[in-house]
Amino acid sequence: MASQTASYVLVALCFIGIGAKHAAEATQLVPAVFVFGDSTVDVGNNNYLNITKQARANYPKHGVDFSGSTPTGRFSNGYNLADQLAQLLGFPMSPPAYLSLTVKSLISQMYQGLNFASGGSGLADKTGRLGAGDVIPMSLQVEYFSKVVKLMQNLSGSRRTASLLSKSIFIISTGSNDMFEYSLSGGNGDDGEFLLGFVALYKSYVRALYRLGARKFSVVSITPLGCTPSQRALRLSQGGMRGCHGLINILALRSYPMLAASLRDLAGELPGMAYSLSDSFAMVSFIFANPRTNDWSFTELESGCCGSGPFGALGCDETAPLCENRDDHLFWDGNHPTQAASAIAAQTLFAGNRTFVNPVNVRELALL
């Protein structure tokens, strides 16, 4: 499995013009990595929350391709995007989930980074509460980080803390659940107002992290959410038609230029701020348009590997059917990519050209 995934990634890199010479770094490029967001980058915070089973991934068959086939809380068959991007920056995997640490282990770990992400959460405080339970919204993730910063300052002093944070990478991957819930609610009739609020919240959290010492941001924009197995199944059930759910895809597509403009404004306003923004809609659309070559292949683009019902969208649990070769599938379950798919995304974020990541890629951001 591992060697097969690696071969897919390397060919994909060449195919989209990245090149493979930076596929792995021998040493850490930054002192620490801090992760914020939702289930795309959660590595186990939800294991410690009062939430529904669907908002947790600490049971089989999650983690089937992780070390020891252990379900860790990652919504993946193996490593997720946070793990793979951290690995390219020179770390073994994503930093551990914040809620998994004791006071003692927090003090020893916080100088290398922490993961605050929570599956089902979003930019808005209410996002995920009804369907998932007591998830950690971005506001609380930032609050947790502020407590860590205070602890660092008390132990190491303000100057050393500021220096470490200014050199570290802050990964943010959030907003999909806000769009899912807005779309399911019927949209309330004003997509423009929703998107303005969406970007304003995003901007406020980047600004809040900057005030706490963050300077280098890797921001993951919204993918074509309407093409996930869950949204394909929804379209089939509502209208009897196959294909992507167009309305939420339009929202995702419209959000990218607004988010890009917002980050440009912030970088012009905040001294020392730098960022790398992925065009995730373009990245995934590229894979849909080029699923197979002579050297790499996704043979299943519509259905999840783990799940039952139409498009495998009814949930990945102990009883769900599991595909034999996860590397053939773009999607792990109803909403999340496989390890093979997220590896390509991580490589693109890290070393991609301006087609998919701007104004710099994550490797260039780390070296600033």
Over residues 334-343, the pLDDT tens digits come to 999 999 999 9
pLDDT tens for each residue of 189-245: 689 999 999 999 999 999 999 999 999 999 999 999 999 999 999 999 998 889 999
Query: Going along the chain, which residue ranges are E strands?
Result: 33-37, 113-115, 169-173, 216-220, 274-278, 300-304, 329-331, 357-358
Active site residue 333: yes
Q: What is the pTM of this model?
A: 0.93
Q: For residue 150, give every residue at least 6 positions away whose Cβ sits within 8 Å of its Cβ, in sequence order, or none.
A: none
> Which one of the listed residues 38, 83, 327, 333 is annotated catalytic?
333
Residue 240: the pLDDT is 87
Domain residues of the chain, as ranges?
Answer: 2-15+32-367
Dihedral class, residue 90 (left if φ above 0, else alpha if ψ from -120 to 50, else beta): left
Q: Which fold has domain 2-15+32-367?
A: Rossmann fold (3.40.50)
- For residue 61, is the peptide bond before it cis, meaning its omega torsion is within 30 degrees of 0? yes
Residue closest to 330 by CA, chosen among 297, 364, 293: 297
Active site residue 336: yes
Three-state DSSP state, 241: coil
> Which one of the listed residues 39, 76, 94, 121 is annotated catalytic?
39
- Is 361 within 8 Å of 349 (Cβ atoms)? yes
> Which one of the listed residues 62, 245, 329, 336 is annotated catalytic?
336
Place of tokens 């992925």: 278
Active site residue 163: no
Residue 289: the pLDDT is 94
